[in-house]
Amino acid sequence: GAGVSQSPSNKVTEKGKDVELRCDPISGHTALYWYRQSLGQGLEFLIYFQGNSAPDKSGLPSDRFSAERTGGSVSTLTIQRTQQEDSAVYLCASNTITGTGELFFGEGSRLTVL
């Protein structure tokens, strides 16, 4: 696609439920990143994909968080048994290592856990 697309844009869920957040990167971008931005905070790195593999998943806060990427394209971030502290904006970004180095961001998925 023309830009990085994320869905849903807003998600309200109850504590203890599972949620899935989707990211569709720019076509041809091999690298994909997930970040979390809590209210008034900076960007917290979660995980990075190169193709379908994740060389760095060191930022995932707990084993309730997982992510996968299939076909070198779409990625899904899954949060199991959501907690109120998971409330944040989840940002996805992509780039190509043969390009100019910059990240292209989606508009984010705002998650609210009640």
Partner 1 sequence: AQSVTQLGSHVSVSEGALVLLRCNYSSSVPPYLFWYVQYPNQGLQLLLKYTSAATLVKGINGFEAEFKKSETSFHLTKPSAHMSDAAEYFCAVTSNTGNQFYFGTGTSLTVIP
Query: For residues 94 and 28, what is the distance between their CA atoms, to the nearest angstrom?
Result: 10
Residues that bind partner 1 (rule: CB under 8 A) add up to a total of 24
Query: For residues 25 and 77, what is the distance between their CA atoms, to the nearest angstrom?
Result: 13
The residues pairing with 12 across neighbouring beta strands, listed in sequence order, are 112
Rule CB under 8 A: say whether 100 interacts with partner 1: yes
CB nearer partner 1, residue 14 or residue 100: 100
Query: CA 27, 103, 18 angle in degrees (round to 5)?
Result: 75
Determine which residue in the list 13, 22, 31, 52 makes contact with partner 1, applying CB under 8 A. Answer: 31
Give the interface with partner 1 as residue ranges (CB under 8 A).
4, 31, 33, 35, 41-43, 45, 48, 50, 55-56, 91, 93, 97, 100-108
